Amino acid sequence: MTDSTKPVLGVGMAGYAFMGRAHSQAWRTVGHFFDLPMRVDLAAICGRDPDAVAAAARTLGWRSHETDWRRLIERDDIHLVDVCTPGSSHCEIAIAALEAGKHVLCEKPLANTADEAVAMVDAARRAARDGVRAMVGFNYRRVPAATLARRLVADGRIGAIRHVRAVYLQDWIVDPEFPLVWRLRQEAAGSGALGDLGAHIIDLSQYITGQRISAVSALTETFVRERPLPEHTANGDRGPVTVDDAALFLARLDGGAVATYEASRFATGRKNALRIEVNGALGSLAFDLERLNELEFYDGTDPAAEQGFTRILVTEADHPYLSAWWPPGHLLGYEHSFTHEVRDLVHDIAAGTDPVPGFEDGLQVQLVLDAVERSARQSAGWVDVAGSDRSAAVSTPSTG
């Protein structure tokens, strides 16, 4: 099938900042490296500022632009809506798109609250009956080394999982004079480091281990409680920071493992430091995003004289996703995880299969975030994640 005979998947994107740029790169390049069953059309990008969104459309490769996300849903040439806006609008946009028969890719975390996430799952389930698909954008699952880690665990190479350690550290708001941007406001972001960074390590650790977090004991902290208002920096007006700067919690996993999680935007010197280590009865794995083409693997079944962590350079053609890219030893980057994400989504839409991770997976992460916040707020010790009837909507985490 040539490109001219393939069915067209018209994509409309809401948002054009950091995530919008990353997703645009993915949609623009995916068909040049992967043999897709559909031809991707970058139909329209949407943002509120007419001049800025017009410039974004030109720069990022979109053939048109809109200033109201509702227009994306109304247009017949748009079949999928990609939601890259702040979390406060995820629920409204995604549900409206699904009810209009549009496929949806929604950035993480799925929503700002568990109730919103439940509503989104319900909408996705109704839409799925008519062949409409929904995915939540946990892109780190698509880093080849992380996908390989999942395969090794599933194949039993490290045995029964005992212990997980997961951290995600940044330092971009350590300056107390950094302005009060939307990510520091609960009404826009839902939570701070917990949802922004913690959601990633919650999902990635569950994906790699195949186990779900069942209970947490947490604390959160806001170190700088007031910041300059972006629109009033010159006159010194300040506003309250209403989200956490750091979140730390212990966790129990439903397969018997224990875990520790740490998410902070106050780790001075750390720019985007995500690391997950999984210890099993027969071996261990460690993934470090700052060395994203590598996976550390310890095989405890080797003879004692030969044991030690092995560095696997994940660039071979038979490693996940790598056959489409460069010769062995030629490295991939952060942006490729988004390309792999939309590659898988296009194949699922064409095949009529449910994408992974689906909105149910996003809800499960949201329930963990909710439990962490409740534990930290109440100083309540252990809090069950499946502590309300909302958990009935959650399936076990997908491992595709």
Domain boundaries, the chain: 3-140, 143-333+358-384
State the pLDDT at residue 399.
46
State the pLDDT at residue 396.
46
State the pLDDT at residue 365.
98
Q: Distance between CA atoms of 387 and 372, rounded to whole angstroms?
A: 12
State the pLDDT at residue 381.
79
State the pLDDT at residue 393.
52
Q: What is the pTM of this model?
A: 0.95
State the pLDDT at residue 389.
52
State the pLDDT at residue 68.
98
**What is the rounded end-to-end Cα distance, in angstroms, of the chain?**
26
Write out the chain in H/E/C secondary structure. CCHHHCCEEEEEEECCCHHHHHHHHHHHHHHHHCCCCCEEEEEEEECCCHHHHHHHHHHHCCCCEECCHHHHHHCCCCCEEEECCCHHHHHHHHHHHHHCCCEEEEECCCCCCHHHHHHHHHHHHHHHCCCCCEEEECHHHHCHHHHHHHHHHHCCCCCCEEEEEEEEECCCCCCCCCCCCHHHCHHHHCCCHHHHHHHHHHHHHHHHHCCCEEEEEEEEECCCCEEECHHHHHHCCEEECCCCCEEEEEEEECCCCEEEEEEECCCCCCCCEEEEEEEECCEEEEEEHHHCCEEEEEECCCCHHHCCCEEEECCCCCCCCHHHCCCCCCCCCHHHHHHHHHHHHHHHHHHCCCCCCCHHHHHHHHHHHHHHHHHHHHCCCCEECCCCHHHHHCCCCCCC
Q: What tokens does 67 get?
A: 């200033």
Q: Distance between CA atoms of 17 and 30, rounded to whole angstroms?
A: 20
What is the domain class of 143-333+358-384 according to CATH?
alpha beta
Task: For Cα atoms 377, 94, 265, give the angle at the middle one, nearest 5 degrees.
Answer: 40
State the pLDDT at residue 388.
44
State the pLDDT at residue 387.
52
Closest CA to 95 of 68, 70, 64, 60: 70
Pick 3-140's CATH classification: 3.20.20.370, 2.30.30.30, 3.40.50.720, 2.40.160.60: 3.40.50.720
Question: For every one of its 400 residues, what pLDDT tens digit does the chain have, with 9 covering 90 and above?
Answer: 678 899 999 999 999 999 999 999 999 999 999 999 999 999 999 999 999 999 999 999 999 999 999 999 999 999 999 999 999 999 999 999 999 999 999 999 999 999 999 999 999 999 999 999 999 999 999 999 999 999 999 999 999 999 999 999 999 999 999 999 999 999 999 999 999 999 999 999 999 999 999 999 999 999 999 999 997 666 789 999 999 999 999 999 999 999 999 999 999 999 999 999 999 999 999 999 999 999 999 999 999 999 999 999 999 999 999 999 999 999 999 999 999 999 999 999 999 999 999 999 999 999 999 999 999 998 767 999 975 456 555 544 554 5
Q: Distance between CA atoms of 199 and 110, rounded to whole angstroms?
A: 9
